[in-house]
Amino acid sequence: MASEKKTVLTAAHWGPMLVETDGDTVFSSRGALATPFENSLQTAVRDQVHSKTRVRFPMVRKGFLTSPDNPRGVRGQDEFVRVSWDEALDLIHAQHKRIRESYGPASIFAGSYGWRSNGVLHKAATLLQRYMSLAGGYTGHLGDYSTGAAQAIMPYVVGGNEVYQQQTSWPLVLEHSDVVVLWSANPLNTLKIAWNASDEQGIPYFDALRKSGKRLICIDPMRSETVDFLGDAAEWIAPHMGTDVALMLGIAHTLVENGWQDSDFLDHCTQGYEIFAAYLSGDSDGTPKTAEWAAEICGVPAAKIRELAAIFHHNTTMLMGGWGMQRQQFGEQKHWMMVTLAAMLGQIGTPGGGFGLSYHFANGGNPTRRAAVLASMQGSVQDGIDAVDKIPVARIVEALENPGAPYQHNGMDRHFPDIRFVWWAGGANFTHHQDTNRLIRAWQKPELVVISECYWTAAAKHADIVLPATTSFERNDLTMTGDYSNQHLVPMKQVVTPRDEARDDFEVFADLSERWETGGRQRFTEGKSDLQWLETFYNIAAQRGASQQVTLPPFASFWQANQLIEMPESEQNAQFVRFADFRRDPQAHPLKTASGKIEIYSARIASFGYADCPAHPMWLEPDEWHGNAEPEQLQVLSAHPAHRLHSQLSYSHLREQYAVAGREPITLHPQDAAARGIQEGDVVRVWNQRGQVLAGATISDGIRPGVLCIHEGGWPDLDPQAGGICKNGAVNVLTKDLPSSRLGNGCAGNTALAWVEKYTGPALTLTAFDPPPSS
């Protein structure tokens, strides 16, 4: 008999939430913070817990179970067999031991970071790596899919990664900026989430910006939700995809033409400008980067480019850069050129001027609070062996294809490890990696693939062993809101009992550690239960808070109260200006670059000799773009979706808000649709040499002609009986798997061309969210 209904406070990436439950069933969920802006993701807890897509029991692929030492069948096409938890863990342990003893720790890839469930204890990848560390080491990963190019180049340019650092505070932007440029950023979508829990302050700041009377410019091939939100306050400029560097060069050339560059700032605060200036003027290569030259490449009229230069020069201008433009071939050049343009304007380090690369993520610019900040499970385990090797996260397929092969990364000569065992926990690589068909082929190579999952994702369907994990609503945890602000400390109390046989990763890896060695459970858990770990993390927060004059109640009373704690504001942090100290005195406050200054030319990068990442920002023509498209091809934009976090919540009721003809939507310009006889709501086939997908047509003048948009994160649903077509419109079936450059080896998912036609084949039933066949 169900107990009475109660409301439990918890949190997810999309913020603190109040969940109505009787302890067994979730009835509803809503945001816990007062905000006028609805976040649709906060309504999906019921779907997360009760979805038909849940992995209910430990499952083993039939061809693997029959012969674990010499598996049969094909991953992704085999049926699964239910086994007990002991059988599953014994099977994993035996194969783990065999592979480690035969090939060494580098042969075991302990997953990448994944977007995980939120919380400081139950971080799946961290717990997996803790277990592998105690077992003797593993191969880990470098970088991430979001910002692989930017986080590699920015340390050379400004001495930090910038993409995950606090921005000039919003109160100062609202006071001092005259012009705000959203360049390849769509904060209305991306501020619904944070790596921890969202503090939900970012959209209100953009709302204040909308009402401020400031000049707002959005540069993006698509008229995003943010452009619509800003309405008449914003101007939308749509260049060809992938041509942002050319557009910026045209603006920069116009600055020099008019003598508008800030020579004093360039002399005192930058290194190597004169070398870049010779490229800009054409002295070094014979091609002046004029507004007319740029217009030919980017499709923005030369007059508009000159106008932008004048606007940026005559006003306090904040360039808010998004990450989509660096998820491209030569992505390192995009943010490097943005910093160079900001340096030429001379406003870096001023209140309201310069550039910022995380205003659109996790509410960067919301001032950091005086906070008691939680500790977490992150970090090495005592006496463990951490990663013995690391591969760039977006090169996993090449590593599987070419064990032992040499490759370059960030100036280093490296070799891919010989990966025999892949364990992925808390992530969905089949939705975030490019060229899905190539991934599937490479995925057949390891001897063992284990996936820890809540849901039957494509990765789970391509595993040998699948372990059912609890959702964050079926366990206890803690979190902070605001990756930069640390605005709240939030209890994440268990909302419902675990479904079916789902177990916490913490318990699973403790059990496996005991199989590995007597006393292994004790080493893994350090003798603490989940609540004891949470109390430890909370008490560390209390110590940290004391230094900020913040007092926390005892853990027991905090946990009993089921209330979030808001941290006090900091007047000092509300006045934070990024690079202010450096600007004021570059010698006393040098950057962590080779010269201590902003490096427009990098001698270090020059020494690497990379043709795909030269020593100063340059326009480099991508392998696939508007400029070399075959007849009828369109550029593929894989933008961030509005009603899910990448692939999370794809199966939820929120799908009803965006699916067209039951599939992922594809946005086409009216003239591109008319040329192909496509009407609103039609099922269309999108294809290139890498694969083909079905999608539902949405026709809009809010996209540049020659560009199509399919949002990333759709679950692959390949139909082997229908030529391998993806029935759900997963865009990475089409995207090109190549590194941004040899410097960053970042994801280049926004570099692809494809054809589109009205689909006339047989009706195909969607199976993306159905569990696989089992016996």
Q: What is the pLDDT of residues 71-120, one digit of tens each?
A: 999 999 999 999 999 999 999 999 999 999 999 999 999 977 778 889 99
CATH 3.40.228.10 boundaries in the chain: 148-368+576-608
Instruction: Check residue 112 and give its pLDDT.
Output: 73
Instruction: Check residue 115 and give its pLDDT.
Output: 82
Rounded CA Rg of the chain = 26
Count of all residues that appear for the chain in the document: 775
Identify the band that residue 378 occupies on the pLDDT scale cut at 50, 70 and 90.
Answer: confident
Q: Is there a contact between 40 and 656 (Cβ–Cβ < 8 Å)? A: no
Read off φ and ψ for residue 697, nearest 5 degrees.
-75, 130
Instruction: Check residue 2 and give its pLDDT.
Output: 59
SS (H, E, C) 52-105: CCECCCCEEEHHHHHCCCCCCCCCCCCCEEECCHHHHHHHHHHHHHHHHHHHCH
Helices and strands (DSSP H and E) totals, the chain? 27, 31
Count of Cβ atoms closer than 10 Å to residue 656 Cβ: 8
Instruction: Check residue 648 and give its pLDDT.
Output: 95
Share of the chain above pLDDT 70, in %: 99
pLDDT tens digits, 144-159: 999 999 999 999 999 9
Q: Name the β-bridge partners of 421.
A: 108, 448
Instruction: Check residue 380 and give its pLDDT.
Output: 58
Identify the band that residue 580 occupies on the pLDDT scale cut at 50, 70 and 90.
Answer: very high
Architecture in CATH for domain 626-758: Beta Barrel (2.40)
Annotated binding-site positions: 115, 327, 432, 475, 505, 732
Cα separation, 586 vs 721, whole angstroms: 64
Residue 34 has pLDDT above 60, yes or no: yes
Identify the band that residue 313 occupies on the pLDDT scale cut at 50, 70 and 90.
Answer: very high
Q: State which H helix or E strand residue 249 sits in.
A: helix 244-257
C-alpha distances in Å from residue 146, one per residue of 98, 477, 712: 35, 26, 12
CATH (one of 2.40.128.20, 3.40.50.300, 3.40.50.740, 2.60.120.1440) for 59-143+373-566: 3.40.50.740
Q: Is there a contact between 728 and 659 (Cβ–Cβ < 8 Å)? A: no
Distance of CA 340 to the CA centre of its chain: 25
Q: Is there a contact between 582 and 270 (Cβ–Cβ < 8 Å)? A: no
Q: State which H helix or E strand residue 271 sits in.
A: strand 270-271
Cα separation, 89 vs 86, whole angstroms: 5
pLDDT average, residue stretch 21-26 = 97
pLDDT average, residue stretch 446-470 = 97
* Interacting residues of 727 by C-beta distance below 8 A, sequence separation 6+: 663, 693, 694, 717, 718, 719, 764, 765, 766, 767, 768
The catalytic residue positions are 113, 115
Residue 576 has pLDDT above 90, yes or no: yes
Architecture in CATH for domain 148-368+576-608: 3-Layer(aba) Sandwich (3.40)
pLDDT average, residue stretch 33-60 = 97
Residue 466 per-residue DSSP state: E
Residue 579 has pLDDT above 60, yes or no: yes
pLDDT average, residue stretch 245-269 = 98
* Interacting residues of 471 by C-beta distance below 8 A, sequence separation 6+: 48, 49, 117, 454, 502
Share of the chain above pLDDT 90, in %: 97
pLDDT average, residue stretch 387-407 = 96
pTM: 0.97
pLDDT tens digits, 315-362: 999 999 999 999 999 999 999 999 999 999 999 999 999 999 999 999
Residue 428 has pLDDT above 90, yes or no: no
pLDDT average, residue stretch 246-250 = 99
Cα separation, 146 vs 324, whole angstroms: 8
Q: Is there a contact between 527 and 520 (Cβ–Cβ < 8 Å)? A: no
3-state DSSP helix/strand/coil % of the chain, to nearest 5: 35, 20, 45
* Interacting residues of 68 by C-beta distance below 8 A, sequence separation 6+: 91, 94, 95
CATH 3.40.50.740 boundaries in the chain: 59-143+373-566
Residue 1 has pLDDT above 60, yes or no: no
Cα separation, 570 vs 572, whole angstroms: 5
Torsion angle (degrees, nearest 10) of CA 116, 142, 435, 694: 30
Instruction: Check residue 543 and give its pLDDT.
Output: 96
What mean pLDDT, rounded, does the chain reach? 96
